[in-house]
Amino acid sequence: MVAHHTTIALETRAGVQALDITERVREAIAASGVRDGLACVFTPSSTSAILANEFEPGLMTTDVPAALERLVPAGGYAHDARWGDANGHSHVRATFLGPSLTVPVVDGAPALGPWQQIVFLELDTKPRRREVLVQVVGDPGPRAK
């Protein structure tokens, strides 16, 4: 059993922003040497999320932000009144979307569907420096001779 940890550093802008981190997760899996196992992709933040979906510009820059605004609009949250930071909606959105994604690793690569990418979703109201943790565990397979 192998366990390998990688940190992906990101710089984000204010508002809903989607970043395709698929290749960086692939690199983390390759660096781990794991052939078959699991990769957990996690954001240690309460105002961002990790998801798997098609990274298509219309979907990620228009449709997802519009849907989030309809489902969890800005304003009127107890969090905003307590802290004065006007990001209560960011916390609620992150709560429903979730901070992590577990992806099977098969033959040394993430087992994603043909239209799936791994996406970091910024939800906060100001630019942030973020870290995404990638933990890969599993079997390295046969050793080279």
What integer is the mean pLDDT of 85-102? Answer: 97
Domain presence at residue 61:
yes
Is 60 exceeded by the pLDDT of residue 145? no
φ and ψ at residue 60, rounded to 5 degrees: -80, -30
Domain presence at residue 126:
yes
What residue numbers bound the domain in which 27 lies?
A: 2-139
pLDDT tens digits, residue range 23-35? Answer: 999 999 999 999 9
Domain presence at residue 77:
yes
Distance CA(32)–CA(92), nearest Å, equals 34
- In the chain, DSSP assigns E strands to 2-12, 17-20, 36-42, 48-53, 100-106, 109-110, 117-122, 128-139
Domain presence at residue 117:
yes
Domain presence at residue 63:
yes
The rounded mean pLDDT for the chain is: 96
User: Are residues 106 and 91 in contact, defined by beta-carbon separation less than 8 angstroms?
Assistant: no
Domain presence at residue 145:
no
What total number of domains does the chain contain?
Answer: 1
User: Are residues 41 and 110 in contact, defined by beta-carbon separation less than 8 angstroms?
Assistant: no
Domain presence at residue 144:
no
Q: What pLDDT does 142 receive? A: 76
- Buried residues in 97-132 as b, exposed as e (16+ CB within 10 A): bebebebebeebebebeeebbbbbbbbbbeebebeb
Whole-prediction pTM value?
0.94
Domain presence at residue 34:
yes
Q: What pLDDT does 144 receive? A: 46
The domain that holds 17 is classified in CATH as 2.60.120.460
pLDDT tens digits, residue range 18-72? Answer: 999 999 999 999 999 999 999 999 999 999 999 999 999 999 999 999 999 999 9
